Structures are given as C-alpha cells and as structure tokens.
C-alpha cells in the first residue's frame, strides 16, 4: 500500500523509511532508522528525483505508481548514484521502458557498472547549468562533485524554488509522518544526527561542500529536498551555519571532548578527575566518552562539534590501544583540523601510547598539542600533579585570557 505526502504544488514525497537496518553502509549505527527520500513531479511530463535503497524498493514502487495514477514515467533525475539512492533504477526502466535517465557523464559510467541493462538508449547527459523544461517547470542542473561521490549533481526547480540537494542537508533518522523541518524539533532531537551523518559520511569533503554552498547562495531557494531526513522549508540559515562550520573544520562551540581508553579503570579514573577539574576551572561543555563503548561515529561527530580534545590511552603491544588508534585514524581520514589537544598515556612498563597518538595527530592540519603526561599503572599524588599541569595547559589554551586566573 502506498505511503506518500504532497510537499508542494504537483510535487510528492514518494520515498520510504527503513527502521530494521542496524548499520548504515554496514558501518554506522542508526538507532532511529533512516529515510530514503525520492520526489515525484507531475507536469506535462512526469519527473522522478532519485530512487531508494533496494530494501524499500517495493514500498517505493507502490508510491510511484499511486502518484502516477496510470501515467508513464518520463524522466528520472539521477542526482546521486550511490546504491541507497540508485538501486531501483533497473526496475524502473523495465516498468517504464521510455524512461529518460538525466544524469552526469560520470553517473552514466556508473549506471553501466552497477546494472546489467544497456543505459545508452535512456541517457540524457547534463553538465553544469544545463536546463530541462517540463511543462511550466524549468529544472537547472548544478554539479556537486564529491558531495559525496564524484558523479553528484543537485537540481533546482526555479518555479517552486526547490533544491533537490542529493546527500547535502540530510541526516540519519526515519521520518514519522512529520516531514518538514518546522514540524520537528531539529535543534533538540535531530541536530546530533545531522552532525553525525555529515561528519562521518561527507566530512572528508569540506572543500567540495564549501563550493556547493557558494553555488547555492546564488539560488532563490524556498525548499531544500535532501535524500535523507526532513525537508527544509524555512530556517535555512540555521543548517547553512552548521554546514559552514563543519565544512571549514571549525568547531561549532567552545568545549572539550575527553575520550579515554581504559582496560581496568585506572585511566578512566584519571579522565574523570581531569574532566572534573577542567570544568571546575571554568571550561565550558566538558564531555567524557569511553572509546571502547561509544561507537566511533559519535566520537567523530563530537570532535567536529567541540574546540578541544583530551585523549587518554594505554600503551598496547608496544603501540596504541586499538580502539583509540581506530578513532584517531578515522578523525585523520575525515580531515578534522584546527583543534587543541591534550594527551595522557598510560602503561605499566614501556610507554608507547603517547608517541603513537602524537604521530597520528601531527599529520593532521591545525592540530595543536598543548601538553602531555604519562601515568604509570594508576594515578598517584605525584602523577596527579602532572595531570593537573596538562589540565592547566589545556585550560590556558582554550579559555579567554581574562578567565585563566581562576584555573585551579
Ligand atoms: Fe545517501 Fe551518498 O548516499
């Protein structure tokens, strides 16, 4: 049975929600599910914007058939060829043999890579600024390579001011009837998932995202239709500001993420004391996370959110505790930059964690390591002094000059 919603004059959401999948990309936990958005425009010709993941294909095809009411499907705009959005193309082509596939040249290559049908008779290749007139609607194609794959474009409907934004401005989280941003608690309930989605999926591609933001600034946008999550129909400045920070690798706010690895609780104890004393000194928004029990995608998102990091890790096999190593290599791969960092290593004989953490962080742009110390086995009065020195160094680096005097 169909499940659709009209979102604008002659435009319908025909996507589907997925709540049974545990890991998006078989990698990222999605406890609130995910939506695969697709949109259908009924003009003199019919135009579909992207498809959905294979898992929800039957629901999607029922939605499309319902809105078409027996009409043929004339155009499929392929903004993005990742399988969570393109998986149903071959089924659509077999259902609607006259379908034109409007896409970039790179997407056309990928069509042949992903599917077994011959896309050539269906192709309508477009490039930057090309337009397609369908009835009263004029669609303009804007290239957006590496947001988040090389073939990506976005499509602008100038009649309605709708930007079909591909992965941009999307989020994890299934839709539950309320489909527009102003029907939902974006700032309270959704922002964390917007951040986690962006930083982990698109985080590496800050420069291409900034290029797209510049292009989008020249469009008269009244609605943003992403491929995942709520549709934006107002409050654009809020999400654009978040994107501007994330894409520039600038923190959203002053704060410290304390991430510890602890095999037997000793470094956990040190991390808790460090965090408490840092907060007592006046540092804002100090947050403590266990690297072993917190999925790395949440740690990545919080690293993008805050201005500084304090990392506690044991030495392990003459190297670095694996969970911390994974976290730091993920931050490096995603391009995190411009952060202030304090390091604390632990061990009972040959210390190696600090050197390994430093080796990774020093290859990252704009990372300032303000201080570090070692804790032999567990925290004692002598090592507490060193830990408090590291805390003071971090506080001095992150606090406004006129508040450093209250550091304890
Ligand atoms: Fe939702 Fe890059 O695909």
For the record, the structure tokens of 171 come out as 């989020």
Share of the chain above pLDDT 90, in %: 97
Burial class of residue 76, CB neighbours in 10 A (0-12, 13-18, 19+): buried
Tokens standing for 172?
């994890």
227 in ligand 1 pocket by Cβ < 6 Å? yes
402 pLDDT more than 60: no
* Dist. CA 80 → ligand 1 center (Å): 7
Can you give the C-alpha Rg of the chain in angstroms? 24
Q: How far is the CA of 225 from the centre of ligand 1 (A)?
A: 14
Task: For 126-209, list the strands marked E by DSSP.
Answer: 131-134, 137-143, 153-157, 162-164
Does residue 403 have a pLDDT over 90?
A: no
Q: Rounded to 5 degrees, what are φ and ψ at 97?
A: -65, -20
pTM for the whole thing?
A: 0.95
> Ligand 1 pocket, 53 CB below 6 A?
no
Q: What is the DSSP letter of 22?
A: S
Report how far apart, in Å, the C-alpha atoms of 353 and of each of 263, 373, 379 are: 13, 11, 16
Predicted confidence (pLDDT) per residue in 356-394, tens digit: 999 999 999 999 999 999 999 999 998 999 999 999 999
pLDDT-derived band of residue 39, with 50, 70 and 90 as boundaries? Answer: very high
Q: CB of 330 closer than 6 A to ligand 1?
A: no
H helix runs in 105-150, sequence order: 105-114
Atom of ligand 1 nearest to the CA of 227: 1
User: Which candidate, 241, 96, 226, places its Cα nearest to that of 168?
Assistant: 226
The rounded distance, in Å, linking the Cα atoms of 81 and 51 is 9
| Residues contacting 258, CB < 8 A, separation 6+ | 271, 274, 275, 278, 286, 287, 288, 289, 309, 310, 312
Q: Are 392 and 405 in contact (CB under 8 A)?
A: no
- Provide the pLDDT confidence category of residue 401 given band limits of 50, 70 and 90: low
User: What length does the chain have?
Assistant: 408
Is the preceding omega at residue 146 within 30 degrees of 0, hence cis?
Answer: no
Q: Which residue has the tokens 């399988």?
A: 83
Cα of 63 vs centre of ligand 1, distance in Å, is 21
Q: In angstroms, rounded to a whole number, what is the distance separating the alpha carbons of residues 384 and 269?
A: 11
Angle between helices 296-305 and 322-333 in degrees, nearest 10: 50
* pLDDT band for position 408 (cuts 50, 70, 90): very low
CA nearest to 135, candidates 46, 222, 54 = 46
| 87: DSSP letter | T
Question: Do the beta carbons of residue 74 and residue 98 sit within 8 Å?
Answer: yes
Secondary structure (DSSP) of 303-322 = HHHEEEEEEEEEEETTEE-H
User: Residue 345: beta bridge partners?
Assistant: 313, 374
Order of strands across the sheet with 5-8?
A: 5-8, 11-13, 39-42, 46-49, 75-77, 100-103, 123-125
The answer to whether 35 and 170 have CB atoms below 8 angstroms apart is: no
Rounded to the nearest integer, the mean pLDDT of the chain is: 96
133-161 pLDDT, tens digit each: 999 999 999 999 999 899 999 999 999 99
Closest atom of ligand 1 to CA, residue 149? 2
Q: CA-CA distance, 283 to 280, in Å (whole number)?
A: 7
d(CA 151, CA 118): 19
| CA 332 to each of CA 56, 193, 210, 359: distance values in angstroms, whole numbers, following the listed order | 34, 21, 19, 11
Tell me: the pLDDT tens digits for 234-284?
999 999 999 999 999 999 999 999 999 999 999 999 999 999 999 999 999
- 125 CA from centroid of ligand 1 (Å): 21
How far is the C-alpha of 303 from the C-alpha of 309, rounded, in Å?
7
Ligand 1 proximity of 84 Cβ (cutoff 6 Å): yes
Å from CA of 166 to ligand 1 middle: 7
Residue nearest to atom 3 of ligand 1 (CA): 82
């Amino acid at each position: 049975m169909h499940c659709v919603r009209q979102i604008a004059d002659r435009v319908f959401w025909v996507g589907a929600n997925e709540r049974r999948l545990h890991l998006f990309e078989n990698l990222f936990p999605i406890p609130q599910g995910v939506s695969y958005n697709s949109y259908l425009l009924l003009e003199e010709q019919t135009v579909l914007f992207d498809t959905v993941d294979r898992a929800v294909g039957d629901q999607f095809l029922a939605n499309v058939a319902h809105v078409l009411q027996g009409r043929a499907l004339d155009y499929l705009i392929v903004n993005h060829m990742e399988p969570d959005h393109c998986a149903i193309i071959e089924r659509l082509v077999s259902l609607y043999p006259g379908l034109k596939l409007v896409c970039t040249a790179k997407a056309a290559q990928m069509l042949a890579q992903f599917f077994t049908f011959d896309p050539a008779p269906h192709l309508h290749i477009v490039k930057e600024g090309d337009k397609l007139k369908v009835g009263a609607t004029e669609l303009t194609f804007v290239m957006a390579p590496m947001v988040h794959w090389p073939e990506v474009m976005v499509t602008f409907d100038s009649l309605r001011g709708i930007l079909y934004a591909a992965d941009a401005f999307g989020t994890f989280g299934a839709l539950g009837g309320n489909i527009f941003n102003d029907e939902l608690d974006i700032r309270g309930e959704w922002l964390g998932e917007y951040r986690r989605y962006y930083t982990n999926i698109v985080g590496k591609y800050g420069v291409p995202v900034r290029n797209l933001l510049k292009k989008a600034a020249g469009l008269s946008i009244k609605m943003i239709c992403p491929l995942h999550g709520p549709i934006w129909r107002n409050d654009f400045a809020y999400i654009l500001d978040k994107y501007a920070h994330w894409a520039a690798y600038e923190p959203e706010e002053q704060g410290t993420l304390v991430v510890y690895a602890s095999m037997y609780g000793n470094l956990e104890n040190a991390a808790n004391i460090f965090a408490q004393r840092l907060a007592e000194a006046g540092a804002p928004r100090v947050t403590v996370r266990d690297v072993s029990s917190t999925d790395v995608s949440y740690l990545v998102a919080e690293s993008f959110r805050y201005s500084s990091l304090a990392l506690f890790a044991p030495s392990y096999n003459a190297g670095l505790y694996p969970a911390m190593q994974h976290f730091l290599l993920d931050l490096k791969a995603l391009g995190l930059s411009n952060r202030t960092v304090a390091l604390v290593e632990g061990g009972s004989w040959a210390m190696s964690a600090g050197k390994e953490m430093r080796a990774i962080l020093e290859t990252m742009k704009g990372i300032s390591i303000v201080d570090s110390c070692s804790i032999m086995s567990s925290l004692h009065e002598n090592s507490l002094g060193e830990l408090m020195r590291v805390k003071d160094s971090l506080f001095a680096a992150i606090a406004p000059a006129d508040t450093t005097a209250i550091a304890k």
